[in-house]
Amino acid sequence: MQINATDRGRKADPTLGSTAGRDDEEGRLMLSFSMPLQLRNKFHSRVTAARSEALQAEQEAQQVYRTTLAQLHTAQAHYALISQAWRVWVSRGQRSLKQQSQLLEQLWQAGELETTEYLVQLQQMLDTRIAGAELHGSLWHAWIKWQAATGQVFEWIGNPVIRSSDNSAASAY
């Protein structure tokens, strides 16, 4: 648009004018014609500059699009990895930790473990539970980043509706 306006502006437009009036009881009519002469300046530089600006704006828009798409793919892959790790933790880790906790309690109650060793192993189990809670927090963080990236992409292409078949994975935990 700007290129066309700049291109039209570089062309010389002739001007035709007329003036009518009275001077000492005489009617006068004056016609004028002017044609700008562009002997030295063809205004090609303005058109070239407008084309360069348009090309730069298009390249910047493409870069923003590529960056946003890369953020979407990265967030989606990160969420998939953490989601898989969380599913493994829920299916195997938590059950194993409960069994270990019960066994540790039984060994301590039976007197086969000293209190110091019991407390050390109990601390290790608590650290494992904390790591599980941190993994759960990471899952939610990854899901939120994925949703934010999805919103950016759909906003870029002009579709505000976000549909995802895997949204329920994070909310199920």
pLDDT in tens, the chain (173 residues): 665 665 565 566 778 888 888 877 788 888 888 877 665 666 677 778 888 898 999 999 999 989 888 988 999 999 999 999 999 988 888 888 888 888 988 888 888 888 889 899 989 999 988 999 999 999 989 988 888 888 755 555 565 554 444 444 444 43
CA-to-CA distance for 81 and 141, rounded, in angstroms? 13
Where are the chain's structural domains?
Answer: 67-171
Find out whether 83 and 164 touch, Cβ atoms under 8 Å.
no
Q: Is the dihedral angle over the CA atoms 88, 92, 95, 100 positive or is it negative?
A: negative
Q: Quick count: other Cβ atoms within 10 Å of Cβ 170? A: 19
Report pLDDT for 60. Answer: 93
pTM above 0.75, yes or no: no
How many residues are given for the chain?
A: 173
